Structure 1
Amino acid sequence: MSGGGGPGGLLARLSVPGRLDVELTAEPGDVVAVVGPNGAGKTTLVQALAGLQPAAGAVRLGGADLTALPPQARHVGVVFQDRRLFPHLSALQNVAFGPRTRGVGAGPARDIARDWLDRLGVGDLAGRRPGELSGGQAQRVAIARALATDPALLLLDEPFTGLDVGVAAALRIELAGHLRDYAGVTVLVTHDAIDALTLATRVAVLDGGRLAQSGSPHEVAARPRTEHVARLVGLNVIREGDHFRAFPPSAVTVSVHEPDGSARNRWPGTVRSAAPHGDAVRLQVHGDHQLIADVTPAATRELGLTPGRRVWLSVKETAIATY
């Protein structure tokens, strides 16, 4: 697959007052996972790239400036969180809609649509309307619709949101196969570390509407520079000036009384949540920092580690990586 006019790299400098001020680059074939907390500007970025959100700056794709073009002329495929399928059209008609708007004849457009529905495993549902599809089936149709136009830029805004775990896992595997063969640029907004680590070639971290960190999935996971990303990849991170101190939840000792001694790596907080995590119980503890700790089920019972419990967390200096 390739976009019209051939695949090309992406260079976007976009600004939306009070919401977004970001420069994003990608090479042909890149899958850029955009991560960050709620309100970080992820969806605003997608909408600005698609031309659905007014923004200052420039969007260059394969050497062409998309800024002055209306959304329908940008050669961009978009999969929204809520799918936005046309409710009065069948799955086949929904997918054929894109090629038709680009001047493809009715017959060839239907052939393209059937091909993509088959590729996404929902060819037998071509005659059904969105209201007759499950969430996973509807999302497959939405992805097929985005790819049917052979876009140069594919935008996926949390495509697995609201799907059952098993359905999301199957769709993630299928999408990974399609993206491996895709010559354009993909921007994938996600809140799941699995997506960033398995689908992406690069990760862009947004925080407060700005780019806080970018790099390969391995680089970002190994040295996260925001608390949000640290929690995504299962690490704690504390910023001290220009340095970051990271340590795993398994290295945290939890007590209900202030630890003895003068160790400086200790913080009071309140348990916000306690949930099974493998053989352990993972605690979310909020105080001066938002930290996670893994404790045994026995310790959870003995110490009464339930939401609202005041605790102390401590970590040995040898367990902390500084960068």
Structure 2
Amino acid sequence: MSARLAVPGRLDVELSAAPGDVVAVVGPNGAGKTTLVQALAGLVPAGGEVRLGGADLGSLPPQHRRAGVVFQDQRLFPHLSALENVAFGPRSRGVPAARARDTARDWLDRLHVGELAARRPGRLSGGQAQRVAIARALAAEPALLLLDEPFAGLDVGVAAALRIELSRHLAAYDGVAVLVTHDALDALTLATRVAVLDRGRLAQTGTPQEVAARPRTEHVARLVGLNVIREGTTFRAFPPSSVTVSLHEPDDSARNHWRGTIRGASPHGDQIRLQLHGDHDLIADVTPAATRDLGLTPGREVWLSVKETAITTY
């Protein structure tokens, strides 16, 4: 797949993927992730083109693009049973009703909700409804699978089980999948490539390992648990464990140091992770004892320092 898409004021990107690729799209709120999915599916007017298998999907209406879409809120048809929801895709492509229902039953079974085939969406839990939504998207045999935060709103256990289930299907999927996510775990475990959006434009692409090792936006750095400071075309990255927090300006001239104000604090393993705002927005891991002894609570002004040896420059 190769795509050049422009939605005035919202999106201007070029994106490519090979058959079998799972492209994780990440970025802060408002970066254009959902707009990208909608433009690929033909649900919003967009300039440019989307080429897949030699065809220009951009010239086709949504129903002829062979794109399966899983929305954040499922968007199942409330008046249809789970079975009829899943059968909708094949039937819209002209498959006879009986065969479409057979296909739907097969996909519901594969996603472990076959016993819920007769239920309408209102009688399904969030996790069950999302499994039905994924089954509906896959039953249409799409060449392009679009997943817009499929685990959003699910509790941790349900999301983990569904992530495992989806990873198995994506591994066997020979089309192109585009997965919008806010979770680094999805990008690192489900994707073969990562596309980073920032203010409607493509800020970085690469394998999950490449993007995690050398993030080019603060958002991605936060996702993978790093601090990143941009200086022109140079990026300086360092882990939160390398940040020393003190109440007074360090007198060691060999260290990098900045002023900051604590914005928040939360448990992180056996450490306390501080979110800090100042010369740069950074995160730092400190011990519970240091948090108590130094009074590191939200609103406290502190100094942050990092040894040069702890910083990776690229």
Q: TM-score, normalised by structure 1?
A: 0.96
Q: Does 1:318 align with 2:309?
A: yes
Q: Does 1:234 align with 2:225?
A: yes
Residue deviations 1:224-252, cap 9 Å, x none?
01010000000000011111000000000
Q: Quick one: which of 272, 277, 284 aligns to 2:275? A: 284
Q: What SS does the corresponding residue of 2:202 show, helix, strand or coil?
A: strand
Residue 253 of structure 1 is matched in structure 2 by 244
Q: Quick one: which of 290, 295, 304 aligns to 1:304? A: 295
Residue 164 of structure 2 is matched in structure 1 by 173
Calculate percent identity across the aligned residue pairs.
82
Residue 45 of structure 1 is matched in structure 2 by 36
CA–CA distance in structure 1, aligned partners of residues 141 and 153 of structure 2: 26
CA–CA distance in structure 2, aligned partners of residues 97 and 25 of structure 1: 29
CA–CA distance in structure 1, aligned partners of residues 291 and 122 of structure 2: 45
Residue deviations 1:11-69, cap 9 Å, x none?
00001111111000000000000000001000000000000011110000111001111
Q: Does 1:81 align with 2:72?
A: yes
CA–CA distance in structure 2, aligned partners of residues 162 and 81 of structure 1: 8
Q: Quick one: which of 142, 146, 155 aligns to 2:137? A: 146
CA–CA distance in structure 2, aligned partners of residues 223 and 116 of structure 1: 39
Runs of 4+ in 1 over 4 A off after TM superposition: none
CA–CA distance in structure 2, aligned partners of residues 256 and 88 of structure 1: 61
Kept in 1: contact 2:69–2:145 (CA 8 A) = yes
Which stretch shows the higher mean deviation, 304-313 or 116-125? 304-313
Deviation at 1:264, TM superposition (A): 5.5
CA–CA distance in structure 2, aligned partners of residues 303 and 87 of structure 1: 55
Q: Quick one: which of 21, 26, 46 aligns to 2:17? A: 26
Q: Quick one: which of 180, 183, 193 aligns to 2:184? A: 193
| Structure 1: gaps spanning 5 or more residues | 1-9
Residue deviations 1:239-288, cap 9 Å, x none?
11111000000000011222223345111111111111111111111112
What is the root-mean-square deviation of aligned Cα atoms in Å?
Answer: 0.8
Residue 268 of structure 1 is matched in structure 2 by 259
Q: What SS does the corresponding residue of 1:177 show, helix, strand or coil?
A: helix
CA–CA distance in structure 2, aligned partners of residues 250 and 106 of structure 1: 59
CA–CA distance in structure 2, aligned partners of residues 268 and 58 of structure 1: 47
Q: What SS does the corresponding residue of 1:163 show, helix, strand or coil?
A: coil
Q: Quick one: which of 85, 93, 104 aligns to 1:102? A: 93
Amino acid at match of 2:23: V
Equivalences, count: 314
Residue deviations 1:144-176, cap 9 Å, x none?
000000000000000000001011011000000
CA–CA distance in structure 2, aligned partners of residues 195 and 27 of structure 1: 19
Amino acid at match of 1:193: A
CA–CA distance in structure 1, aligned partners of residues 84 and 279 of structure 2: 53
Kept in 1: contact 2:274–2:285 (CA 8 A) = yes
Residue 4 of structure 1 is matched in structure 2 by none
Kept in 1: contact 2:195–2:205 (CA 8 A) = yes
Amino acid at match of 1:172: R
Q: Quick one: which of 147, 150, 160 aligns to 2:151? A: 160
Residue deviations 1:61-88, cap 9 Å, x none?
1110011111001000000011101111
Kept in 1: contact 2:248–2:302 (CA 8 A) = yes
CA–CA distance in structure 2, aligned partners of residues 94 and 228 of structure 1: 36
CA–CA distance in structure 2, aligned partners of residues 307 and 145 of structure 1: 46
CA–CA distance in structure 2, aligned partners of residues 191 and 68 of structure 1: 30
Kept in 1: contact 2:255–2:307 (CA 8 A) = no
Q: What SS does the corresponding residue of 2:58 show, helix, strand or coil?
A: coil
